[in-house]
A and B are shown apart, each in its own frame.
Chain A
Amino acid sequence: MKTGLVATSMLAVVLVVCLPVSAHHGGAAMQEKETEFKNVTVTKFAWANPHCLVFFDVKGADGKVVNWAAETAAPQQLLLNGWHKTILKPGDVITISLRVAKSGLPAGRFSKIVLADGTVVGESGVSGGTATR
């Protein structure tokens, strides 16, 4: 079941990137390589402790929609790097890169988000794009 779930979700993937990563807050629980989910829809952005969470829907080849959760840093850290409470909104179509949980369940540690307008939202800063966020 878990394998199938991951496999289904992988159909939404365009690019798998292998990047060196350092251990983090449960880092051992995440795959080392990054997985990209292209053009997925944000369902919720939780501006919360202990970590912000980005929830997004991924539609698999079987047509089933699975809701994923990706964690970011905590709000007080993101604030310093240009994030704010509504930088992501339900309905936003994004491309998100994350390190997926080794468990195969729909969760992971975010690396980067690109919004539809080209804005790049990373933990170290927000850049590019045309819209004001």
Chain B
Amino acid sequence: MRNPLAKVIIAPLAVLMVCSAVAHAQGRGAGAPAQGRGGGGGRGAQPGFVSAGIPAMPNPPGPAPKRELTGTWVGAMNYVPGPYPAMTPAGEAAKKLNKFIARASDTVDAVESTNDPFAICDPLGFPRVLLAHWLSWRGGIEFLPSASNRMVMLFEHQRVWREIWMDGRQLPAKVDAAGFPDSRFYGYSVARWEGDNVFVIDTVGLDDRSWLDEAGLPHSNEAKLQERWTRVDQYNLGLTVTVDDPQYFTKPFQLFKAAYYWKKDQNVREELCIASEAIQYRDRLAGPSGYGYEAKP
């Protein structure tokens, strides 16, 4: 990592794409919600690994350092989605439009096209990017030379980042309206510490083209999300994400909980979804096989 970033708390996020998924979408022949795509839940770690593809540190973890998330983390592991509340009519209508790519644990009766943003390298957006790849938090308080009042999360997938303000500013009251900012794939975030080990992030202003999860759960641009990151010990983070989106869901709910582990080599890979490669895949594999990309009407 470059020196300026060394002082910044950044968080690349990555996950091993194992053959499991959230499969709560209806109309695709899917069964009950399955394990999320994130990491080794249910697969059984081999010796020397805490989960599939995630090497264990050689020593047991020490206590959690106070108010510190610095470092490169791997997740999401032990992913548990939901439970999800009933959706509003608008939410159900939005959900029907999202056609995810069938996962290994899905039982699909027919081949269908997909409009999964991932299929064509559209931004995953927040919070879905939390499920994608290695997560890194880097120590420090500066991103720009004069910046000392924010945390930046860097994500390995697509090398995108979130800026999370800790200067007491307010989140936008609304987005996509006169006098208010535009919605964004990664939203607008502010954060605070609760005690010494829980970092709480509130996010609003999300572009409604992104999905809440891998299975196409939609959200409106009025959704409010909260992450609660718990530094469990030296090598372990816990995360819960809750959603409050009255436009699409009848009540607030926990979107998922998951765990992240200290990345042994602390290295952040370059993990890009490249448009030309996505086109190649669509034209030479997915399309000919019958599950190519088809944009929403």
Residues of A within 8 A of B286 (CB): 26
A-binding segment of B56-64, B107-115, B240-248: B107-115
Binary B-proximity of A94-122 (CB < 8 A = 1, otherwise 0): 00000001110111100000000000000
Given contacts A23-B108, A48-B274, A50-B118, contact A28 B102 (CB under 8 A): yes
Q: Kindly state the separation between the CA atoms of A46 and B281 in the bound complex, as whole angstroms.
A: 9
Q: B102, A101: Cβ atoms under 8 Å?
A: no
A-binding segment of B11-19, B86-94, B173-181, B254-262: B11-19
Judged by DSSP, the binding face of B is loop
Binary A-proximity of B268-284 (CB < 8 A = 1, otherwise 0): 01011110011011001
Within 8 A of B (CB), among A27-75: 27-30, 46, 48-51, 53, 55, 69, 71, 73-75
Given contacts A23-B106, A23-B107, A107-B285, contact A80 B277 (CB under 8 A): no
Given contacts A48-B274, A49-B272, A71-B281, contact A28 B288 (CB under 8 A): no
Residues of A within 8 A of B105 (CB): 22-23
Q: B103, A29: Cβ atoms under 8 Å?
A: no
Within 8 A of A (CB), among B231-253: none
Residues of B within 8 A of A25 (CB): 101-104
Residues of B within 8 A of A105 (CB): 288-289
Chain B's closest residue to A2 (CB) is: B288
The reply to whether the CB of A76 lies closer than 8 angstroms to some CB of chain B is: yes
Q: Which of B101, B118, B285 has most A Cβ within 10 Å?
A: B285
The reply to whether the CB of B219 lies closer than 8 angstroms to some CB of chain A is: no
The reply to whether the CB of B164 lies closer than 8 angstroms to some CB of chain A is: no
Q: B101, A26: Cβ atoms under 8 Å?
A: yes
The contact size tier of chain B is 35 or more
Q: Kindly state the separation between the CA atoms of A26 and B269 in the bound complex, as whole angstroms.
A: 27
Q: Which of B53, B102, B286, B289 has most A Cβ within 10 Å?
A: B289
Q: A27, B16: Cβ atoms under 8 Å?
A: no
Please report B residues at the A interface, Cβ cutoff 8 Å.
Answer: 14, 16-19, 53, 101-111, 118-119, 121, 133, 269, 271-274, 277-278, 280-281, 284-286, 288-291
**8 extra interface residue pairs, beta carbon distance < 8 Å, beyond A25-B103, A29-B290:** A24-B102, A26-B286, A27-B108, A46-B277, A49-B272, A76-B14, A80-B16, A103-B290
Please report A residues at the B interface, Cβ cutoff 8 Å.
Answer: 22-30, 46, 48-51, 53, 55, 69, 71, 73-77, 80, 101-103, 105-108
